[in-house]
Every structure is written in structure tokens, then in C-alpha cells.
Amino acid sequence: MPVERTLGILAGGGPLPGQVARAAQAAGRRVFLVGLEGFAESLVLAPFPHAMARVGAAGQILGLLRAEQVEDLVLVGPVRRPSVFDLRPDAEGVKIMARIGRAAFGGDDGLLAAVARVLAEEGFRIVGAHEVLTEAVGPRGLLTQVAPDAQAQADIDRGAAVARALGMADVGQGCVVQQGIVLAVEAIEGTDAMLARAAGLSRPGPGGVLVKLVKPGQDRNVDLPTIGPGTIAAAVAAGLRGVAFEAGGTLLTDRAAIIAAADQAGLFLVGVSST
């Protein structure tokens, strides 16, 4: 019987690195996690073989992965891009930054695609988190008791058009729309911060909607849109009526808890097509 290759997990923040690790172990695979300092959560990593490393310590990260005979590698969990002045790359990191080139100063998708390309050149096969954590991929259709009405559907359509435009420019993956007005768009601050900002911009009348889509042309093996219970809580605090996400391209970190929270708050949660 062939031996399953060790699955490496380059872990950012949130619960997804641990969920990917558990799913891989359940499928009979050995896992090894490299947690990125300042982002990965120690309680998430603790149950699994792991080590910690700085974002800029590329030589250390590659050495750890090779010592564990990792060939397949998942990049999962949010990592806020450090400034060039904070990165402090090691010698290997300097070389990798040179190979990444101008993409290091562009949008997140371009940077992540360049990082994935360099890792592939180093001999790793990049695996999407959705390939391991298949049950977390959000399906198409309504998941909650409450459904969007005509106004909410119009806001979803408007939000999808805006999100696609943002994605084409490699800016962000989501926006908030209320009564046809774009209240906020997602940039480097992330979804929760965008929702907090939108809360102070809401208008009287029916609340708005959050729309999250995969960027057009995005490498789906890295940085898929993610929705968790915290997203629903932030949507409630912002006075929104619901959340629409791209079906087949969005990770729901805890589907049961997300749906329960949305139902309790009277929000809709719906998977939509990207076109």
C-alpha cells in the first residue's frame, strides 16, 4: 500500500488551519503545520505537529517543511500583509522576494499567486483548502429560514457587480450595499473591519447586504473568501439583512453554527453564482 505524503499547512489566523488538519488526519494523512507568528493561533495549532516561524523567515519555513518531507502544501488562514520595513526577510527570504518581483507591491491576489508559483518551483504541490475541507465549501441556494426579498435581491445583484469590479482590480472580495447604495468596499482591512465601518453609514429603511465573491481569475488554491460565525455577528451589528456568497468558492468555517446564528438573528444566508 502506498504511503500518503505528509500534508504541510502554512497556517495564518482563524480556525481553518486546524479544520484542514483534522480533515486530512481523518482521511489518513499525516500533517505538519507551520504557524506564521502574529497570525496563527496557538490553540488551533496545539493538537497537531507544528512549528512557528516569522512571515519573512522563508529559509526557516522551507527548511521545516523539507525536514518533515512535505510535498503537498496548503496555504490557509488570513495573514495581513506586513510592510516591507517590518518583513525582515532572512537570506532565503531576500532571494524569494527577488523572484516574486513587482507582485510583492501589487494586490493580494497577485502576491499570493506569485508566492504559490515560487513554492511550486521549490518542489511543493499547492493544494487548495477546499480540496481537503470539502464539507466547508458553501453550496448554491438559500441556507436559512429567511429569504431575500426583491429589494435585498437587487442589492445582492448590485453588490455582485461591485465585487467583481473590485476583484478585477485585485482590491478586495466583498462590499456592503443598502438600497442600491454602496456603503463600503473591502480592501486591506478585511471583512469585519469593513462591516464595522459600514455600521456608521447605514440609511433609514431596509438594511443592507454583504456580498463576497472570488476575484475573477483568482487562483482558487489560495485566499478563498471565508465566512464564519464572527462574520454573522458583525453583519448583525452593522444592521444588515443578510449575506450572499459565491457558491462553490467560499469557505464556511462552521456551517451549522453560521446558519444557526443567522436564523436566530433573522438574517438570510444565500449562495449565488459568480455571473
pLDDT tens profile 47-97: 999 999 888 788 888 899 999 999 999 988 877 765 555 567 667 767 777
Does one domain contain both 265 and 159?
yes
Does one domain contain both 87 and 34?
yes
Does one domain contain both 70 and 145?
no
Residue 78 has which C-alpha cell? 488570513
Does one domain contain both 156 and 121?
no
110, 132, 154 — which closes off a domain? 132
Does one domain contain both 187 and 128?
no
Full domain range(s) for residue 94 = 6-132
Torsion of CA 187, 175, 130, 145, to 10 degrees: 150
pLDDT of 201 reads: 92
pLDDT at 154 over 90: yes
Using DSSP, state whether 47 is helix, strand or coil: coil
Global pTM reads 0.83
Q: State how far the alpha carbon of 263 is from the alpha carbons of 197, 236, 254, 267, in Å.
A: 24, 11, 14, 6
Question: CATH number of the domain that 157 lies in?
Answer: 3.40.140.80
Question: CATH number of the domain that 66 lies in?
Answer: 3.40.50.20
First to last CA, the chain: 44
Which residues, other chains included, contact 193 with Cβ-Cβ below 8 Å and sequence gap of 6+?
Answer: none
Q: How far apart are CA 14 and CA 228, in angstroms?
A: 9
Using DSSP, state whether 177 is helix, strand or coil: strand
Q: How many CB atoms lie within 10 A of CB 82?
A: 14
Does one domain contain both 88 and 154?
no
pLDDT of 1 reads: 41
Using DSSP, state whether 145 is helix, strand or coil: coil
Would 21 be classed as within a structural domain?
Answer: yes
Does one domain contain both 194 and 256?
yes
Would 1 be classed as within a structural domain?
Answer: no
Asked if residue 170 lies in contact with residue 144, where contact means CB atoms within 8 angstroms, the answer is no
Would 196 be classed as within a structural domain?
Answer: yes
Would 153 be classed as within a structural domain?
Answer: yes
Does one domain contain both 147 and 121?
no
Give per-residue pLDDT as tens, 226-256.
Answer: 999 999 999 999 999 999 999 999 999 999 9
Over range 162-178, report the average pLDDT. Answer: 90
Give per-residue pLDDT as tens, 187-209.
Answer: 878 899 999 999 989 999 999 99
Length of the chain: 275
132, 148, 167 — which closes off a domain? 132
Does one domain contain both 96 and 179?
no
Q: How confident is the model at residue 102 (pLDDT cuts 50, 70, 90)?
A: low
Q: How far apart are CA 222 and CA 109, in angstroms?
A: 8
Does one domain contain both 196 and 253?
yes
Would 72 be classed as within a structural domain?
Answer: yes
Residue 268 main-chain phi, psi, to 5 deg: -95, 155
Does one domain contain both 87 and 148?
no
Q: How far apart are CA 109 and CA 215, in angstroms?
A: 8
Q: How many CB atoms lie within 10 A of CB 217?
A: 10
Q: How far apart are CA 55 and CA 61, in angstroms?
A: 9
Residue 213 has which C-alpha cell? 465573491
Using DSSP, state whether 150 is helix, strand or coil: helix
Structural domains counted in the chain: 2
Over range 121-141, report the average pLDDT. Answer: 90
pLDDT at 45 over 90: yes
68, 99, 132 — which closes off a domain? 132
